[in-house]
């Protein structure tokens, strides 16, 4: 999925963990709540929400050609 993007392994691990916890947590909650929603409907809604988000996350965390600066328009303020 990362294709030609240069992504640090710790950033790739973070993206993997983030999406895994989100998906597993959603399925766990669905099961805990009694699975009232049809699994096909839940899957459809999850896919709709996630459309393009993984690619966007990887692109924003990829490295510039200098190999140092993340591609991001976000600034953290301390």
Residue 4: the pLDDT is 80
Query: Could you tell me if residue 6 is inside a domain?
Result: no
Query: Could you tell me if residue 16 is inside a domain?
Result: no
Which tokens go with 72?
């991001």
Q: Answer yes or no: are the C-beta atoms of 6 and 67 closer than 8 Å.
A: yes
Instruction: Note down the domain range covering 36.
Output: 21-61
Query: Could you tell me if residue 40 is inside a domain?
Result: yes
Q: Using 50, 70 and 90 to split pLDDT, how confident is the model at 74?
A: low
Query: Could you tell me if residue 74 is inside a domain?
Result: no
- For the entire predicted model, the pTM comes to 0.71
Q: How many domains does the structure of the chain reveal?
A: 1
Query: Could you tell me if residue 9 is inside a domain?
Result: no
* pLDDT tens figures, 32-45: 999 999 999 999 99
Phi/psi for 39 (5° steps) reads: -60, -35
Query: Could you tell me if residue 28 is inside a domain?
Result: yes
């Amino acid at each position: 999925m990362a294709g030609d993007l240069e992504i640090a392994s710790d950033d790739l691990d973070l993206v993997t963990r983030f999406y895994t916890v989100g998906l597993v947590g959603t399925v766990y909650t669905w099961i805990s709540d009694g699975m009232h929603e049809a699994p096909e409907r839940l899957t459809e809604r999850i896919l709709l929400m996630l459309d393009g988000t993984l690619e966007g996350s990887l692109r924003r965390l990829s490295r510039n050609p200098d190999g140092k600066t993340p591609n991001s328009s976000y600034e953290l303020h301390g």
